[in-house]
Amino acid sequence: MTEPGDALSFDLVAAALRADSADVAVYARVLTDSLGDTLPAGVVTVDRERTMSDRMRGRPGEVSKITVRLGDQLLTLGVERGRPVAEICREVRGVVLSRQPVQVAEWAAELARALVAYADQNAQAAQVLRRLVAGS
C-alpha cells in the first residue's frame, strides 16, 4: 500500500459495496464470499437461520445477520421481516458503548471507510478489497 497508484480509493470500495445492496440475500452472499472467506478469522461473522429442511438436507441455511468487527467498530447487517436492518456500534472489551441504526447505504459507506483504514494496516485486507473493487 506504499505505492501512490496502489492506494485503495474510498469511493471505489464504497461503490463496490453498494453494487449489490438492493437485495439483502444477494448482498449478504457477496459480503460473505468476498470478505468473510478471505479476511482474518473473527473479522466477519455470519449468522444463519436453518429450517428443519435445511438441516435434513445439509444446507447452511439463509443468512440472517452479518457482523464486521474492525477495531472498536462493529457493523451489523441483518434481516427482520424481510427488510434490512443495519447498525453501527462502538465496542470496547466486549461491551457495546453505542448503537446507531442506519440506512444500508450509510452502513455500506461506513464499512468502506473502515475497510480502507484496515487495509492501510493489513496487506491481506488490501488484496481482498482490490478483488472486490475489480469485481472478481
Domain-located, residue 61: yes
> Is 104 among the domain residues?
yes
Is 50 inside any structural domain?
yes
What is the domain range of residue 88? 4-131
Total structural domains in the chain?
A: 1
Closest CA to 130 of 4, 24, 12: 12
Integer angstrom CA distances of residue 62 from 59, 82, 122, 134: 9, 12, 30, 27
47 within a domain of the structure (yes/no): yes
136: in domain: no
Lowest mean pLDDT, pick from 4-8, 107-111, 121-125, 131-135 = 4-8
Asked, for residue 103, whether it belongs to a domain, the answer is: yes
Residue 105 resides in a domain: yes
Predicted TM-score (pTM) of this structure? 0.68
Q: What percent of the chain has pLDDT over 70?
A: 60
